Structure 1
């Protein structure tokens, strides 16, 4: 944490949300305003370098190119040697889906069809605008109790290559989150919407079962499983999953892009026409705290 700093640019910093290895996330307010925003900040100093600044500017450029209620809104960018570099975004106070999977999976299942529809709509908007996210995972979806969604983090987002650009684009640097990476991304090949569909399929699998499609004792072993192995059907881990939806998840996790749904519109059509679970889970009752002994 960068202690002693009160302002960055024209923003007053009033609450540190999270401090990572490279960036700090702060709640901030513009001077003379009361509205709070989130700031992703690269402080000046040893972490501040040209490539990391360019990464942050890229996030800003992608965010400004998107306009969907379920995608985090991006407002401002700044860069100076005195203040470091920063992106100012909408402040959306809620845990991400990964945290909720760990803490309260049952509270997601009764409303999972709605959550998945909203997540898919946000990602489909990106694809229609010509972008592939390349890091779809539950950590990058914020979901509140009213099923409002925000897709975040455009660090690895790239323009979808078409035509000659797709044929002669060269090998891509291998980057992403190993537990959700599609085979073509692992191989450094060009990615389109179907790469995100694979990662989204891994996320759906985890939301249904509480487990990842693949686990391993090393990164190399994990990536090799994504390349070569077929995961167990979600019905083996949750018998309440409807057959049609289990088959849909299996197609999303196909090794070859051509064998996956062509777009998330196809996923949404099938989700709307069917259902995730054979018997819809009930909303859990609120937890009652036990009285403490004096």
Structure 2
């Protein structure tokens, strides 16, 4: 790639994409910034040394920096396009309140980029210090890849969980502060590859739009993104969570089709004002006639795009419930009838796997959904009616897939309808080849549920399950209620990160040729001890309560 092409791509990228994508353009862009930016090398707050300008935009400038207090840990520092010289005390107090709220929010949800420190420099310019992450913006992914339906569900669920956390509010000094983002769009969604979770989506820039909007010097400017703004946002009204829901609807439409539901004749405020207020959004059929999307999902997106806030889903929780229902009833990927079924984009999803594609177009039209088949199974006669976990192989449409069967009280299953999923595999080659298959389901309201299973890799069954998990890259959790064990009451999908799939394949090979002459329980005991040791680490990551850098909220 030429330097000229590289620089042009960088200039066209959004501010937030630049924050995290700089490593792909570091050679060309970094040299240019070092030569022209006097801030490079500056020590901020006697702690953060600015190293590279990685983004500029309407909301400010972003630098890659290192925290010299913690041995050079990389961070991202964002200077806001705001001076608090005028009305200094009022703006100082408001900035500190917004910064503290956003910092606490990032600690509470793993789907929100964390603010770890904040302050005001010697020029009275406020700044945030954020966790430094590398990934791709959702806008890039939409442009470059066709989103298979399972990947769409995974991403939207994660975004919705982050929004739900913000809209529910954060307690600060005894008062609950609901947080409205005000600028929901693909370029404010960062998709990273996490070694434990797989594909993880994080929302950027909570609170910044409101902070800038409240500045007297900025009131004559519109702050937001025209194509994604709700009608009430265009009017300058006080916003609630339903404005973010409108923007989410625009983004969901774009994720599913690659097109925008509303197109203004010109890119001016007046044109977009009229479009959002009086132009009906285009239908899915209109923008992509061959695209097959469940009607329930189309209805959900269109309801989010209602002009009147009262006609939209009233909370993100409502959206999550509908998404969960649609997922359970529809598992086929989006297929263009005029072309062969597209191969799913390789991904490691936090909550959803890449769906196995049907072999022909006819399969999509006539085969029952996988979950219809799975819901028809009943609890095995040779298993007790008790809270237990065990794997099973099930044949679906001429292929065998792995499943994990779980029995719980009905009330416990209901609590987990909307949740994040995590899995990890531990392996002990000696004295007896044994793997510990850890599955965790979690939501903020009801906490964590641990579902461990010990897989004996010297048995034929253990070998088959390990290889199935490695080959498919996902498994289904089948929940059975103790009160009604005759049928499966709920189904969740869990993906397996690429590195873990490779490990499973390697462990199966090693175990097949290794010898064992001891009781398998010895290996189980060792794995159980390690499991108890890492549980707090897993829970901490799920809760996203611990920051990499101490958070100073006293300034």
- Alignment TM-score, normalising by the size of structure 1: 0.81
The aligned residue for residue 247 of structure 1 is 299
* SS of residue in 1 equivalent to 2:136: coil
Name 2:40's counterpart in structure 1.
Answer: 5
In structure 2, what is the equivalent of residue 218 of structure 1? 267
CA distance in 1, matches of 2:308, 2:125: 42
Change (3 A) 1:71 1:241: same
Answer whether contact 2:147 2:255 (CA < 8 A) is retained.
Answer: no
Please state if 1:27 is matched with 2:55.
no
Counterpart in the other structure of 1:60: 99
| 1:158-237 alignment runs, 5 A limit | 175-216=223-264, 217-219=266-268, 220-237=270-287
- 5+ long unaligned stretches in structure 2: 1-32, 170-177, 212-219, 335-342, 348-555
Can you give the 5+ residue segments of structure 1 that lack an aligned partner in the other structure? 159-171, 287-294
The change in CA–CA distance for 1:15 and 1:221 in structure 2 (over 3 A counts) is same
CA contact (8 A) 2:159 2:203 kept: yes
Shift of 1:218: 3.5
Instruction: Give a deviation string over 1:102-159, Cα, whole Å, max 9, x none.
Output: 2x2315655110000000000011100012111111111111243211111122248x
- Aligned mate of 1:257, from 305, 309, 312: 309
Say which of 156, 164, 167 aligns to 2:209.
Answer: 156
Matching residue of 2:163: 123
Whole-angstrom CA distance in 2 between matches of 1:117 and 1:76: 28
- Worse overlay, 1-10 or 245-254: 1-10
Q: Is the 8 A contact 2:44 2:121 kept in 1?
A: no
**Whole-angstrom distance in 1 between the partners of 2:279 and 2:148:** 28
> 1:270 aligns to what?
322
Cα deviation code 1:33-53 (max 9, x no counterpart): 23211111359xxx8553798
- Evaluate the alpha carbon distance shift between residue 259 and residue 84 of structure 1 in structure 2; reply closer, same or farther with a 3 A threshold: closer
1:106 aligns to what SS in structure 2?
A: coil
Equivalent position of 1:113 in the other structure? 153
- Tell me the distance in 1 between the aligned counterparts of 2:346 and 2:158: 24
Q: How many residues align?
A: 270
| Alpha-carbon separation, structure 2, partners of 1:48 and 1:90 | 23
CA distance in 1, matches of 2:287, 2:330: 13
CA distance in 1: counterparts of 2:321 and 2:40, whole angstroms? 50
3-state secondary structure, aligned to 1:131: coil
User: Paired residue for 1:38, among 63, 67, 76?
Assistant: 76
Which stretch shows the higher mean deviation, 257-266 or 12-21? 12-21
Deviation at 1:251, TM superposition (A): 0.4
| Other-structure match for 1:147 | 199
Q: Retained in 1: the 8 A contact 2:50–2:66? A: yes
How many Å separate the matches in 1 of 2:123 and 2:226? Answer: 36
Secondary structure in structure 1 of the residue aligned to 2:237 = coil
Determine if contact 1:16/1:24 at 8 Å carries over to the other structure: yes
Query: How far 1:57 moved relative to its partner?
Result: 5.0
**Residue aligned with 2:292, SS:** coil
C-alpha distance in structure 2 between counterparts of 1:285 and 1:155, whole Å: 33
Cα distance in 2 for partners of 1:283, 1:107 equals 8
Distance 1:100 1:3 in 2: 34
Q: Which moved further from structure 2: 30-39 or 70-79?
A: 30-39
User: Hey, what does 2:362 align to over in structure 1?
Assistant: none
Greater strand fraction, Structure 1 or Structure 2: 2
Equivalent of residue 100 in structure 1, options 141, 151, 154: 141
Equivalent-residue separation in structure 2 for 1:178 and 1:84 (angstroms): 27
TM-score by length of 2: 0.45
Matches of 1:209 and 1:25 in 2, distance apart?
31
